[in-house]
Amino acid sequence: MTRTRTTLAALLITLPLGCAADISAADLPESTVWYMHADLAQMRTTESGAHLYRWLDGEVFVEINDELGIDLNQEIDRVTAFSESADGATVVVEGPFGADIQAQILAAARSKGDIDVRDHRGQTYYRIGDAERSGDAEQESFEDTQFFTFAVPGKLVVDSNESRLTAMIDNNGRIAGAEAHANTLFVLTADKEFVQAGMRTDQYADDEDDWDSNILRNTEQASLMVSDQGGMIAIQAQLVATDPTLTQSIGNIVSGLIALQAFNSEMDPKIVSVLQNTKVEAVDKLLSISTVLDPQTVVSILED
């Protein structure tokens, strides 16, 4: 498996949480550090998305099917993940989740460690993790301990936080009392979205001398969206800097790098096409980078 496929497979194998056809700021906690939402059903039913879906099916889903016996073509419609901390995470997977698939997931969970069956107001949920670790901690490492449930119809909800999981059971698989907050990460939206993602960039700046880290340290948020635009694949990224001057500086740097690379005779023509179709716009503290591509070109780049 490549690193990309391994990451996607790990996300699905470790069990996720569910949402509507897309997400908004109201679907995320105010303190969200990062989020990711993939709408597989939307990919399957659009001309441009079908190209991406066939690539995922051939490169990722087939391996998950071989490892777990779970056919993602039939069982998974949407996947949403977010975190409010470095360790904890919430994942929601939306799909049919009949008795057979639930049994397969429970078997996979048991193979990874001790499983504890728990009850919340007559609804069953599970804890999986090291039996020697305390099960009463409000926030556990997602890698060590997970709580999950099928109690919400059509959704598999997984969380490192037991209290949040039970609250989501009470609120039909959504964040309890969800509403737009002033401090919530901004969410890019379109008519037909395939992937949405965002993060608070300043929390990921580690090396003080690294150019990338300096950029992250001087920005507040970043978001990404991949969507359909008239049968083409639209990719849009936005970055919020700490001040307008920095936004303009980053925009100039990105534009300059694109201009230089676009005329690189040694570069793959497909990449050159991407660069030539890329637009960069800086307004106040917001930097937007966008491009529209033929879906076959996107798949070709992924395959390379």
pLDDT of residue 151: 96
3-state helix, strand, coil in the chain (%, to 5): 35, 25, 35
Which amino acid is it at 132?
E
Among candidates 185, 89, 175, 210, which has minimal Cα distance to 139? Answer: 89
9 has a pLDDT exceeding 70: no
Q: Specify which of 94-103, 134-143, 156-165, 169-178 reaches the highest per-range mean pLDDT.
A: 156-165
List of residues 6+ apart from 128 with CB closer than 8 A = 109, 110, 112, 113, 114, 115, 116, 145, 146, 147, 148
Q: Domain residues of the chain, as ranges? A: 3-20+36-170, 200-303
Please give the residue that has the higher pLDDT: either 104 or 121: 121
Beta-carbon count within 10 A of 251 CB = 20
How far, in Å, CA of 224 to CA of 288, rounded?
A: 10
Which band of pLDDT confidence, cut at 50, 70 and 90, is reported for residue 290?
Answer: very high
Task: Give 112-148 pLDDT, tens digit per residue.
Answer: 778 999 999 999 999 987 654 444 445 455 567 889 9
Q: Could you give the percent of the chain with pLDDT greater than 70?
A: 78
Range of weakest confidence among 9-13, 89-93, 181-185: 9-13
* Average pLDDT of every residue of the chain: 80
**What is the 8-class DSSP label of residue 27?**
G
87, 139 Cβ separation under 8 angstroms: yes
List of residues 6+ apart from 93 with CB closer than 8 A = 12, 15, 16, 17, 18, 76, 78, 79, 155, 156, 158
- Backbone torsions φ then ψ of 229, nearest 5 degrees: -140, 95
CA–chain centroid gap for 162, Å, is 21
42 has a pLDDT exceeding 70: yes
Task: Give 248-264 pLDDT, tens digit per residue.
Answer: 988 898 888 888 876 77
